[in-house]
Structure 1
Amino acid sequence: MDQTNCDNNVTNDDIHSHSSFKKLAKINGMINDMTIDELRHRLSQLTLEVSGSEDSCRRRLKNHYRNETMKRVFNKSITYYYDIICVVDFEATCDSPQSDDLIQEIIEFPAVLVDVKQRKIVSTFHEFVKPKSTQKLSEFCTKLTGISQSIVDKSQPFVEVLDKFDKWFNSYINNNNIKSYAFATDGPWDLCHFFALTCKIYDITLPSYARQWINIRKVFTNQYKRQQLSLDQMLTHLGMEFKGRKHYGFDDAINIANLLIRMITDGANPTINQEISCHKSDRNRWTNIKCGYVSINHNKSSINSNDSDSDNSTFKDINNK
């Protein structure tokens, strides 16, 4: 299949009839008829990633030709909503069976910055946290996360770790002239449950950047037209493997970041899709926790995002029904 040359002199009036788009439609039809081996061969010729399911390879190849056509017609690259995306995946105190009295407080705080345009990890943050409410970790928690009692005992409390994170994050924002960013998680609970609850324990006002986020499971569903899957299942669908230890927050965050990069490569343009809520009747909640989340659909950056329906006082009784 040959790439097509396109005329750059295009007006808005004749864009839909422009020959480039007619050729793109023809190319898409040819891609639809290609076998998985043909798809991977063509991806390889274009030095693109060849792993993943037949569907993901097909979408990746179509996205390549779409982007190339847009560059030729409009003489510009795709515009992303955010300059960087900060992936977080906290580990918290836990037990099995889970007791209603157990407060799930953050004990590991990892963050991974993804440069969206460059499609690569550009900086990382990683600290363990000494819990305040649950001073002794359960055997289940240690086996699940690999975090020992001695690790948390010698770590700093959440308020100090959060201060370190804010300094690291703001330093990157300021030093790299970042104009827009968003946070991303694998599911909603890292921010609307673990992070919000830990802030409540320390009587810290929930930072504005943590009130809205990108749930990468929803991005995956929209991009590949699949039901929401686990991290392992999403990686498998794209021909990727989990690297490191599962339920170890930093390794989880790295794998989520790599998944996010692959989705962007395949044509996704992630946008904030969930926000924290403590008042809306349709919010989703974890057990009896007052705080939950609702789905939203907009592309505002966390830098300029408005607060959710929750005011600061909400987070002082976040545990109440």
Structure 2
Amino acid sequence: MIAIVFDLELIKRFRKGQPSEIVEIGACKVDMQTKKIIDHFQMYIFPKRGHISKSTRKFIKMKEEDVEKAVPFDIGIQKFSKWLGEEYYLCSWGKDDRAHFINQSVQNKLPLEWLRNYNDIQKPIGKLLSEELNNQLGLKNALTIAGIEPIGKAHRGIDDAINTAMLLIKFLDQIELKENNLSTNEIQNHYRKYKRSRFRHKDQAAKEKQYPFTTPPNHS
């Protein structure tokens, strides 16, 4: 069986309520028998506006040649889901990245059958490393406590995925990865949240356009 460890990076947001968009998918395959990383995946994603801001590029250590390789989200997901293979566990450090996959796929009306056998490995590994931190141990601190020298740079999807995979390999015999499927109800809940968020964002953007330098008047 293969474990897929993934990490996402997002565009930097400049307005409250602005939707998050994935700008990098980093992942690696772990052979659970040999406990070795056997493959890598990295892809940069263009946001809807087709522009990746300088601040975002700086934050995720994205070079100019990386911008040229970026693809639309639907193409990136198609390539990623094909790379996954047939039998696998999906793992990430915390549940946020899973939610971003769901949200953006819902927005783009893309299938999510591939998002199965998901495991948040932050909780079980965090508990093994330190019970005092309520299982919310950051990746950097987890690597330090585990005695693992991190590779690459923080906030770079592929590097964070590899570092998370090294934690998984170290504690693989002490945690249990579970099989599961993404339910229709959860997809629908994410869609409803997306619609509410989209409405609030449009409403806020309209107010800022109408009153760019002042507080909107109070008509009460």
| 2:120 maps to 1:245 | no
The answer to whether the aligner puts 1:182 opposite 2:100 as a matched pair is no
C-alpha distance in 1, partners of 2:35/2:6? 17
Q: CA 1:309–1:221 in 2, change beyond 3 Å: closer, same or farther?
A: farther
Q: Structure 1: give runs of 5+ residues left out of the alignment.
A: 1-82, 272-298
State the secondary structure of the residue aligned to 1:156.
coil
Q: Is the 8 A contact 1:90 1:106 kept in 2?
A: yes
Q: Match for residue 307 of structure 1?
A: 182
Q: Does residue 122 in structure 1 map to residue 29 in structure 2?
A: no
Deviation per residue, 1:226-251 (Å, 9 max, x gap): 32311111111111121101101001
Is structure 2 residue 170 aligned with structure 1 residue 262?
A: yes
Q: Distance in 2 between matches of 1:151 and 1:198?
A: 21
Change (3 A) 1:241 1:315: same
Amino acid aligned to 2:194: N
When residues 100 and 149 of structure 1 are mapped into structure 2, their CA distance, relative to the original with a 3 A threshold, is farther
Distance 2:107 2:195 in 1: 13
Higher helix share: 2
Root-mean-square deviation (CA, aligned residues, Å) is: 2.3
The answer as to whether partners of 1:159 and 1:202 remain within 8 angstroms in 2 is yes
AA of the residue aligned to 1:219: P
TM-score (norm 1): 0.54
Amino acid in structure 2 at the alignment position of 1:191: R
How far apart are the structure 2 equivalents of 1:250 and 1:262?
A: 19
* Deviation by residue 1:204-258 (Cα, 9 ceiling, x = unmatched): 13x1342652212102133334323111111111111211011010011011001
Per the alignment, residue 70 of structure 2 pairs with 155
Name the residue aligned to 2:55.
140
C-alpha spacing 1:149/1:140, structure 2 compared with 1 (3 Å): same
Match 2:84 to one of 164, 169, 178: 169
Q: 2:31 is matched by which residue type in structure 1?
A: D
Is the contact between residue 145 and residue 248 of structure 1 (CA under 8 Å) also seen in structure 2? Answer: yes
CA shift in 2, pair 1:229/1:312, >3 Å: closer
Report how far residue 108 of structure 1 moved. Answer: 1.0
2:9 aligned partner? 91
Alignment of 1:222-301 (within 5 A): 222-226=127-131, 227=133, 228-264=136-172, 267-271=173-177, 299=178, 301=179
Matches within 5 A, 1:195-234: 195-205=101-111, 207-210=112-115, 213-226=118-131, 227=133, 228-234=136-142
The offset of 1:140, in angstroms, is 2.7
Change over 3 Å in CA distance of 1:306–1:229 after alignment to 2: closer
Equivalent residues of 1:93, 1:103 under 8 A apart: no
Code of the aligned partner of 1:166: S
The Cα shift of 1:187 comes to: 0.8
| Identical-residue share of aligned pairs (%) | 27
Which amino acid counterpart does residue 262 of structure 1 have in structure 2? K
Shift of 1:166: 2.0
RCO greater where, 1 or 2, for CA within 8 Å and sep 6 or more? 2
* Structure 1 pair 233–167 and aligned structure 2 pair: CA distance change class (3 A): same
CA shift for structure 1 position 188: 0.8
**1:311, distance to aligned residue in structure 2 (A):** 5.7
Q: Unaligned regions of 5+ residues in structure 2, if any? A: 197-220
